[in-house]
Structure 1
């Protein structure tokens, strides 16, 4: 992947209250399972000082809240501008099939991260073994959505045929008035029954019976950007569209703003003194979300089906999935804030 990224616009004022129920993600429903949980396991409180609040793109206050198990406690109310303060956004779609990887984003397919350069666009028919793919004209110029309306229409699950073979690129200027508000319990409350999301990346996540009010969002990065549920790539591809992510694993829609679908190492991280994987955010149940590999490049070997485990320093915590799997974590082991 390349190092050159296009800086996005700063976002201002209008607040959209979201406790992770609106998503461009592929799982509108979530599910529960009888996962044994040791409720005596150590928990570690959320450290609000780790969030990138200096630029004003993230503000944090303490408010009373009710959790999914009925617990009345305190939560951090985190208001974000949906724009990362620690890295630039974009690019997403290359302009021409001659463009290099510096001019486009990435695509996640089959557990692998691919650069969306001009050659990738040119070879889509071969890549997907389908001659209906032709996303460029006789001059090699790529068909790219040009307006906010195009962005909205092309992102519709029932996208019209007029957007077939378009690279979908939604720009920061389309969300200039958007903010998001999240609630995360300051002290995690472990549950006897863990909640598993209905979908996850890779070969697919665990399933079960739908549960009301379970969030689809996985958590927040330390820069305030949403760790979203898996992107609905099957729906995107079925319409012969492509909605690339930038090198940081993020893209934009007008409801969520800028959000991540993969952890690629661009966002703020808190390095651990003992060589453990770095902290990159918090799940909506207040447990830490850490990078996959530790300082030496080793992978955790004892993760549960949620992608979590416990140690004496960090208590129960999660490790993100491989970036190519279009996934972060598979469920929540703790109670999460619910709307009143």
Structure 2
């Protein structure tokens, strides 16, 4: 579903909202499933990324909601069917991970299987791939908890936040975190396969979505993928809330008609159960998620008790492996001085790193990064640490 109105038009509509309308757009904790939380949510003081003092819902969830069926991810052999994958190379589209797909990748120089048909499957929690191309199937860590912050009252940003690879988007009503597209095979050489609902296990051991799972079968129909998701499908349903506090819906309105007049973030001001509010809609393409967020997120809005992966807070010594992530630098580390730079700029370290890409892979495009952050290039240069001698 392509946007039909400019983003600035949508932002103008948002800026014309009164306080009552903005307050009506707040996340509704009552909409979450009873099994979503590891402990009762609470309202806490928080600071938004633009420096605004605010209040947030503090939500803590388990590594996986009770009763959620996940998998399959990687097929064991060419005779098995795995999950799904959004291939971005030649013949790009969404595929079921099966023999036909893996043979097609082999023709393009990406061999994921042995001569006997055994698929290269690696658990990144315990081992590193020893082959050029492996299907990543990470094991869970049942002890992990994830804590997230959602602004009680959304605040519209001066500029939308673009969502790149593995950007934080929000949380689903079942408590599962939502992220943007996974790293491509071309980026990493490997394939962290998604299950047929569009989710998989993070290196930290917890499950997360890379799709609007409650409307993923709309994508299957559009892309010609034969697969079933165990999650109940409803293209008009509320899926969850973005980290800016605005709601995430399926691809249609409540009456089943396609959502129209959408901006570049795939959102609009329209009628919901809360009245006329801004909200996002899923697309009919994969990943069927917003391309950007129009609101301001809370600082430090995502942390886990894991030893690896996004938001890890425990020391990784003796813990899980974590593969390199595009734009993340050394696994589990922020390059020296970048956390201070983020604080000076009033953004989270995650946001800064996503805008810069990987500073250790070469000089970043500061002009592009500054535009993503909504600041001047001069301000970005002044905040960043000096490059090491010889670079």
TM-score, length basis structure 1: 0.69
2:149 match: 183
Counterpart of 1:330? Answer: 291
Q: Quote the offset at 1:290 in angstroms.
A: 0.5
> For the Cα contact (< 8 Å) 2:10–2:263, is it kept in 1?
no
Greater strand percent: which structure?
A: 1
**1:286-316 deviation digits (Å, cap 9, x = unpaired):** 1101111346653222111121101242501
Separation in 1 of the partners of 2:99 and 2:28? Answer: 42
Q: Closer, same or farther in 2 for the Cα pair 1:142/1:241, shift >3 Å?
A: same
Which structure is higher in RCO with an 8 Å CA cutoff and minimum separation 6?
1
Establish whether residue 84 from structure 1 lines up as the match of residue 52 from structure 2.
no
Equivalent in 96, 100, 105 of residue 119 of structure 1? 100
Quickly say closer, same or farther: Cα 1:238–1:317, change in 2 above 3 A. Answer: closer
Query: Once the two structures are superposed, what CA deviation does each residue of 1:48-89 show, in whole Å capped at 9, x if it has no partner?
Result: 011123365464111111223433232110111131335211
Kindly provide the CA deviation profile for residues 202-237 of structure 1, in whole angstroms up to 9, marking residues without a partner as x.
xxxxxxxxxxxxx9311111111111122121xx33
- The alpha carbon displacement at 1:334 in A equals 2.1
Contact 2:164 2:181 in 1 (8 A): yes
* Alpha-carbon spacing, 1:335–1:196, altered in 2? closer, same or farther (3 Å): closer
- Given that residues 86 and 267 in structure 1 are in contact (C-alpha distance below 8 angstroms), is that contact kept between their aligned partners in structure 2? no
Residues 118-170 of structure 1: CA deviation (Å, up to 9, x unaligned): 332233223xxx2x3332223212121156222xx35xxxxxxx231321111
Q: Which of the pair has more CA radius of gyration?
A: 2
Partner of 1:204 in structure 2? none
More helix by share: 2
Q: SS of the residue aligned with 2:30?
A: helix
Q: CA 1:146 to 1:334, structure 2 compared with 1: closer, same or farther past 3 Å?
A: closer
Q: Are the aligned partners of 2:42 and 2:59 in contact in 1 as well (CA < 8 Å)?
A: yes
Residues 194, 332 of structure 1: 8 Å contact kept: no
What SS class does the counterpart of residue 168 from structure 2 fall into? coil
> Residue 225 of structure 1 corresponds to which residue in structure 2?
176
1:91 & 1:115 partners in 2: Cα distance? 11
Query: Which segments of 5 or more consecutive residues in structure 2 lack a partner in the other structure?
Result: 1-6, 215-228, 301-342, 344-391
Aligned length: 269
Matches within 5 A, 1:86-235: 87-99=68-80, 101=81, 104-109=82-87, 112-126=93-107, 130=108, 132-146=109-123, 148-150=125-127, 153-154=128-129, 162-172=130-140, 175-191=141-157, 193-197=158-162, 199=164, 216-233=167-184
Residue in 1 that maps onto 2:278: 316
Q: 2:265 aligns with which of 306, 314, 317?
A: 306
